[in-house]
Structure 1
Amino acid sequence: MPTSLTTISDTIRATGVMVRAGLVPFPRVDHGLKSLNAVNKYGPFAGPVSAHAQSGYDAVAIIDDRGPLTYADLESTSNALVRSWQSVGITSETVMGAMCRNHRGLVLTMLAAAKNGTKLVLMNTGFAAPQLIDVAARENVAAFVYDDEFADIATSLPSHTIMYRSWPEADIEAPTAAVTLDEAVIGHGTSTVSAPAKNGSFVLLTSGTTGTPKGAPRGHMSPLASAQFLDRVPLRRNQIMMMAAPAFHGTGVSQFALALALGQTVVMHRKFDPEKTVEALARFRCDSLVLVPTMLNRIIGLGPDVLSTYDTSNLKIIFSAGSSLSPDLCKRVTATFGDVLYNLYGSTEVAVATVATPQDLATAPGTAGRPPVTCHVELFDDTDKRITTPDTIGRIFATNGLSFEGYTDGRDKERIGGLLSTGDVGHFDSHGLLFVDGRDDDMIVSGGENVYPLEVENLLADMDDVADVAVIGVVDTEFGHRLRAFVVLVPGAVQNPDALCGHVRSNLARYKVPRDVIFIDQLPRNATGKLLRRKLTEI
C-alpha cells in the first residue's frame, strides 16, 4: 500500500506529467481554472467539452459516419438533450442504459447523462436479449438508448422503459414508437444547463466471459488519473485520434475522455473494418489509433501489399488494451508501423496497472511494461505473502485513483493492503518489467505440474501458419488435466497437428505440449475481443 510520502511524490510527478502533455494549460492559469470548474460541475467526461466550448475553442471534436461535429456542437446539442430528458421525467435518480456502437449518438448520450447527474450503464453491443434483460433488471434501468440494429433486443425490456433511438437506419423497421435523439432535442434550449446535484457516472460491464457481466461503477476519479496514461503514452493537445476500440468499454471510454480533455479530434466508424480503419488513418493524418489486440491482428493480417498503399507515416501511437498481446504480434506491428506500439495492462475493475512503451516491447516483446505515475503493482503468493524476487510467478494486485469500489451487486474483488486483484498471475523480470502469465483460474495441474495456457498460446502464435490460437485445460483421467489447442490457420496453410506440437515440444517442457489440436475457422470472441473460453469447452 502506498505511503503518505509516496502519495505526495505521485502528486508532484503527476502534475508535472499533465503540464508537459498540455492537459494543464500552463502558464494560462485562467484557462486551467475554467477547466477545473467545468470538471467539478459536470464531471471528467462532459466538463472538458463544456470548458472548450465556453472558451471559444470550436475545433472539430468528433468525425463519425455522418460527418464532423465541433466542440460547440457537442455542447449545445447535449444541453438540449438534457432538457428533453428532464421534460419526460429523467432525473439524476434515473438509471439509463445505452447499447450503441461508436458514433455521435453514444457520445451525446454520455455527455447528457453526465450533465444530468444520471447513472449510465454502457451495455455490450454483443448482448443477446437474455443478457440485456438480466443486466437491465439488476441495474434498475428505466430509460434506454439504442441503435436501430439492436431494436429487436431492446423490445425485450419492460414496456414502461423510456426509449430513444440513437442511430436510425432506413432499412430497419423500428418495432417501437421511440423517438430518435435528433427528434428529441428539437425545440429545447441549447444554453448552458445547471450543474446536477451530483455528478453522473458510468457503469462499465465486465466482459462476462464466465457468466453474466458484472457492473463496475465509475464515479469519482482522482483529478490526477489522466497522468497514468500521459506518463508513458505521448498523447498531446490538438492531435487526431482514431477510436477503433468500442467506446462502451473501459479502453474506449478512458481514451475518449482523455482525447476530449486534450481538445483532440476523434475519428470513429460504427463498425470496425481493418482496411477502412487504415484508410481513415491515412486520410485524416491520425496521430494515434486506439484498439484491442484482435483488431490489431486483423489490420496486420491485411498484409504489406494492402498496407503499403496507405500513408500512415503520421501515426505516432498505437494504443492496445483489453487483452494480452502476443510477442509475435508485437514484432509484426513494429515491423509494419515502426516503434509506435503501446500496450496497456489493466482490467475493468482495476483500470490502469502497467503500460509498455515501444522501447519496453523492443526489449521484451509481449511485456505488460511498468506501472505509470500514481499506479502501484505488487505480486502475492497463495498465502498472501508479497513476492519480491524476479521471475517468480504470483497473483497480480494493483492500486490507483481509478480502481472501482465494488460491483453494483455488492460483491468485490479480493484486496490485500489496499491493492485490488486483477485476477491474473504474472512475474517481474530482473529489469522490473511485468509479464502476465495467465488468468489465475486458467492454471491447470497436469501430471503434478502447474501449467499456464497463455505461454503455449504465445508460442503457437509465433508460427507462420497460425492466424489465431487459444489453449485451454480440459479434464484428463490419467493426468488430471491436459492442454487442448484451438487453432485458426492462415489461408492456404495445411493442417498439421504434429508440427504444432513439435514446435511446443522443442521450446517448452513436455508436460506443456497440447495433447489435442482442433482446427477451427474462427475463435469465439465478444464485442471487445475477449476470448470466450467457456464456448471452447463446448466444442
Structure 2
Amino acid sequence: MALQRVAAQLSETVGALGAMRRAGLVSFGKLGHAAVTAKAARAYGPLAGPIHAHAINGIDRVALIDDLGSLTYPELDQQSNALARAWQEAGFDDTSVIASICRNSRWFVLVGLASAKLGARLVLMNTGFAAPQLAAVAEREGVGVFVYDAEFAALAAALPATTTKYVAWVEDPTDDPSLEHLIAGQPTNPLPPPAKAGVATQLTSGTTGTPKGVPRAVVSPLASAQILDRIPLRTEQTMFAAAPVFHATGLGLMVMGFALRNTIVLTRRFEARDALRIIAENRCDTVIVIPTMLQRIVDLGPDVIAEYDTSALKVVFAAGSSISPDLSRKTSEYLGEVLYNLYGSTECAVVTVATPADLKRSPGTAGLAPVTCRVALYDDAGTKITERGTVGRIFAANGASFAGYTDGRDKERIDGLLSTGDLGHFDDNGMLFIEGRDDDMIVSGGENVYPIEIENLLADRTDVLDVCVIGVPDPEFGQRLRAFVVVAPGFEPDPQGLKDHVKAHLARYKVPRDVVFLDELPRNTTGKLLRRVLVEMNENP
C-alpha cells in the first residue's frame, strides 16, 4: 500500500508538472526566472509574489486594464509598494487584519498586493452584503482596517469608529482618505519580505446564515495544475475577469493569469453588450464569468453577438453554479467550442472541470477531476458509492482545500476527503453530474426528487428565461413541487404547457403542482440562486 501511494503521488507530480509546462508556467529554458518567481511566491504569497517577480525579471507587459486605464507589471508592483509603505507608516503590520469591499478594479488588486507585502490578513467582503452581515463578519474576523469603494459608504458607517477606513474607488467625496491620496509621494522601492506571507480569507456566500471565513494559508505549489490540466490557459494572453474577483473563481483565475504574465482586464460593472465590446476590443483569449453572466450574453442572440469580433476567444471559463444543457449548447453555437465549466467550492477549491468535448458528449456534466484532485460519493452512513448512476454526497480533496473555518468549525471529512455539501452521480463514462445541494432534495409522496432535473428540462424551452423548483408543504404528499418561472421576452405565461412538458418527459411525481411567474429570480452577487428566499415567500405570502 505504501508503494502504491508513493507511485500515485509520483504520477500526480509528473502530471501536474506536465500541465504547468504546457501552459508555460514552468519553463526549463528559463530556470532563472522560475527561481525568482518561486522565491517571491514563498515570500509574498500567490498574488503578490508573481507580480513582484515579473517586475524584477523585466517583464514590462501591461498587467492590468480597468476603467481608469492600464498599468504595467512594474507599475503595479511599485504602486503596491507605495501603499504598503503608507500603511507601515500608519502602524499596520503582519498582525493587522485588513478588509476590503471593492468591485473589480486596480484598487482591489493593489489592496491585495499591499496586504500581502505587509504579511497582513486580508478579508474579502462580498459586494452584496447588507450592513448587519458585514458588521458581523468584521467583528468575528477582528477587522481593524477597512477599504471600500465610495458606493459602499453606508456599509462602512456600520463599522465601529475605531476601525481605520480608506476609500478605494472615489465617486463622491467622503470623510475618509482615499488610497490614491495615501500613496502619493510614497517610496516605490520593494519592501523587505514579511516574516510570513499574508493570508487571504474568502467568505462563503452566506445563503444559510452569516458568511463563514475560509482562510487559505497553505497551498500546494502544484495547485495551479488543477486548472491548467484541463483548461488551455497560456502565457502572455489577455484575460477578461468579468466575474467578481472577491469570489473564489474570479480571484483564483486572476491570480493564475498574473502568474502566466497575462494582461487582466477588469470592469466595475457587468453588462452583456459591454462585455462583448471588451472581448472584441482587447482581443481577449479568456473570459471568466459566472453562469448568469454567460446567460445574459447568450440571451442577446446570435445576431447581436455576431456584431462583435470574438474570434480570439479560446476559453470561456464559467463557475459558481451549474450550467444547463441549453446554455451549454447555445454557447457552443454562438461563441464556438470554448466553454469550460468548473465545479468546486470556496472550501474545496477545484473538484472537477468539464471541457467543451465533455459538455458536447454529456450536456450538463460537471466533468472529470483534474490532476492532483480526487472526488468520490458517499451515502448517508459514510459508505463509499461505486455504482454508476447512484446519487450520493460529493466529497473531494486536492492541494488547495481549506483546513477549517476561521471560527474553528469544519466541514465533514471522510477518508481524507472534504464534503462539498452537494449531491451528485457518475454516469457510465465516469462524468460527474450535480443534483443540487444535499438539503435541496425534495421528498414527495415517498419519492426523491432532485430539482435540477426539472429545472434543466424547463430551461430548455424557448419561453423560459429562468426557473427554480422547490418543495412546499403538502398534507397528502409531505411536499409538493412548486416551480418559479421567469418568462422569456415575447412569450406569455403558460402554466399548463409547462406542466405538460414535464409530464411528457419525466415521471408523474416530478410534475410541479404549482407554477408561479416572477419578473426575476433572487440571486446573490456571484449568481447563486437563493432558494431560501423563494421558500420564505411561500411561508410568508
Same fold (TM over 0.5): yes
Work out whether 1:478 is the aligned partner of 2:476. yes
Q: Distance in 2 between matches of 1:92 and 1:525?
A: 36
The residue identity in structure 1 corresponding to 2:287 is L
What is the aligned partner in structure 2 of residue 398 from structure 1?
396
Q: Distance in 1 between matches of 2:9 and 2:45?
A: 23
What is the aligned partner in structure 1 of residue 30 from structure 2?
28
> How far apart are residue 504 of structure 1 and its match?
0.7
The residue identity in structure 1 corresponding to 2:235 is R
How do 1:102-141 residues align onto structure 2 when only pairs under 5 Å count? Answer: 102-141=104-143
What is the aligned partner in structure 1 of residue 65 from structure 2?
63
What is the aligned partner in structure 1 of residue 162 from structure 2?
160
> How far apart are residue 534 of structure 1 and its match?
1.1
The residue identity in structure 1 corresponding to 2:101 is M
Q: Distance in 1 between matches of 2:47 and 2:222?
A: 14
Deviations 1:237-259 (A, max 9, x none): 00000110000000011000000
What is the aligned partner in structure 2 of residue 497 from structure 1?
495
Work out whether 1:353 is the aligned partner of 2:354. no
User: Mean alpha-carbon deviation: is it higher for 471-480 or for 247-256?
Assistant: 471-480
What is the aligned partner in structure 2 of residue 515 from structure 1?
513
The residue identity in structure 1 corresponding to 2:184 is I
The residue identity in structure 2 corresponding to 1:223 is P
Q: Distance in 1 between matches of 2:156 and 2:272?
A: 29
How do 1:243-254 residues align onto structure 2 when only pairs under 5 Å count? Answer: 243-254=241-252
Q: Distance in 1 between matches of 2:296 and 2:480?
A: 30
> How far apart are residue 3 of structure 1 and its match?
3.1
The residue identity in structure 2 corresponding to 1:151 is A
What is the aligned partner in structure 2 of residue 51 from structure 1?
53
The structure 2 residue matched to 1:407, chosen from 402, 405, 415, is 405
The residue identity in structure 2 corresponding to 1:481 is Q
What is the aligned partner in structure 2 of residue 205 from structure 1?
203
Which secondary structure does the structure 2 equivalent of 1:467 belong to? strand
How do 1:143-222 residues align onto structure 2 when only pairs under 5 Å count? Answer: 143-169=145-171, 172-174=172-174, 177-222=175-220
Q: Distance in 1 between matches of 2:455 and 2:260?
A: 38
What is the aligned partner in structure 1 of residue 387 from structure 2?
389
Which secondary structure does the structure 1 equivalent of 2:33 belong to? helix
Deviations 1:103-127 (A, max 9, x none): 0000000111111111111000001
TM-score of the pair, normalised by structure 1:
0.98
Which secondary structure does the structure 2 equivalent of 1:396 belong to? strand
Q: Distance in 2 between matches of 1:151 and 1:4?
A: 54
Which secondary structure does the structure 2 equivalent of 1:279 belong to? helix
TM-score of the pair, normalised by structure 2:
0.98
> How far apart are residue 304 of structure 1 and its match?
1.8
> How far apart are residue 128 of structure 1 and its match?
1.0
Which secondary structure does the structure 2 equivalent of 1:344 belong to? strand
> How far apart are residue 279 of structure 1 and its match?
0.5
Q: Distance in 2 between matches of 1:218 and 1:43?
A: 11
How do 1:419-430 residues align onto structure 2 when only pairs under 5 Å count? Answer: 419-430=417-428
Q: Distance in 2 between matches of 1:45 and 1:523?
A: 35
Q: Distance in 2 between matches of 1:151 and 1:37?
A: 39
The structure 1 residue matched to 2:286, chosen from 279, 288, 297, is 288
Q: Distance in 1 between matches of 2:179 and 2:27?
A: 34
Q: Distance in 2 between matches of 1:457 and 1:85?
A: 50
Q: Distance in 1 between matches of 2:210 and 2:471?
A: 22
> How far apart are residue 380 of structure 1 and its match?
0.7
Which secondary structure does the structure 1 equivalent of 2:536 belong to? coil
Runs (5+) with no aligned partner, structure 1: none
Q: Distance in 2 between matches of 1:178 and 1:326?
A: 45
The residue identity in structure 2 corresponding to 1:31 is H
Q: Distance in 2 between matches of 1:210 and 1:512?
A: 26
What is the aligned partner in structure 1 of residue 333 from structure 2?
335
> How far apart are residue 338 of structure 1 and its match?
0.9
Q: Distance in 2 between matches of 1:532 and 1:437?
A: 16
Runs (5+) with no aligned partner, structure 2: none
Q: Distance in 2 between matches of 1:120 and 1:407?
A: 15
> How far apart are residue 308 of structure 1 and its match?
1.0
What is the aligned partner in structure 1 of residue 82 from structure 2?
80
Which secondary structure does the structure 1 equivalent of 2:435 belong to? strand
Which secondary structure does the structure 2 equivalent of 1:334 belong to? helix
The residue identity in structure 2 corresponding to 1:125 is T
The residue identity in structure 1 corresponding to 2:164 is I
What is the aligned partner in structure 2 of residue 19 from structure 1?
21
Which secondary structure does the structure 1 equivalent of 2:468 belong to? strand
Which secondary structure does the structure 2 equivalent of 1:125 belong to? coil
> How far apart are residue 269 of structure 1 and its match?
0.6
What is the count of residue pairs matched by the alignment?
Answer: 535
Q: Distance in 1 between matches of 2:17 and 2:131?
A: 45
User: Mean alpha-carbon deviation: is it higher for 6-15 or for 369-378?
Assistant: 6-15
Which secondary structure does the structure 2 equivalent of 1:441 belong to? coil
Q: Distance in 1 between matches of 2:481 and 2:194?
A: 54
Which secondary structure does the structure 1 equivalent of 2:8 belong to? helix
The residue identity in structure 1 corresponding to 2:479 is H
> How far apart are residue 186 of structure 1 and its match?
1.7
> How far apart are residue 483 of structure 1 and its match?
1.2
Deviations 1:188-239 (A, max 9, x none): 2111111111110111111111111111111111000000000000000000
Deviations 1:430-464 (A, max 9, x none): 11111001111111110000111111111111111
User: Mean alpha-carbon deviation: is it higher for 342-351 or for 299-308?
Assistant: 299-308
What is the aligned partner in structure 1 of residue 92 from structure 2?
90
Which secondary structure does the structure 2 equivalent of 1:43 belong to? helix
> How far apart are residue 187 of structure 1 and its match?
2.4
The structure 2 residue matched to 1:300, chosen from 298, 301, 307, is 298
Q: Distance in 1 between matches of 2:426 and 2:396?
A: 14
> How far apart are residue 25 of structure 1 and its match?
2.2
Q: Distance in 2 between matches of 1:31 and 1:62?
A: 21
Q: Distance in 2 between matches of 1:303 and 1:328?
A: 13
The alignment yields a C-alpha RMSD, in angstroms, of: 1.0
Which secondary structure does the structure 2 equivalent of 1:27 belong to? helix
Which secondary structure does the structure 1 equivalent of 2:46 belong to? coil
> How far apart are residue 388 of structure 1 and its match?
1.1
> How far apart are residue 173 of structure 1 and its match?
3.9
Which secondary structure does the structure 1 equivalent of 2:64 belong to? strand
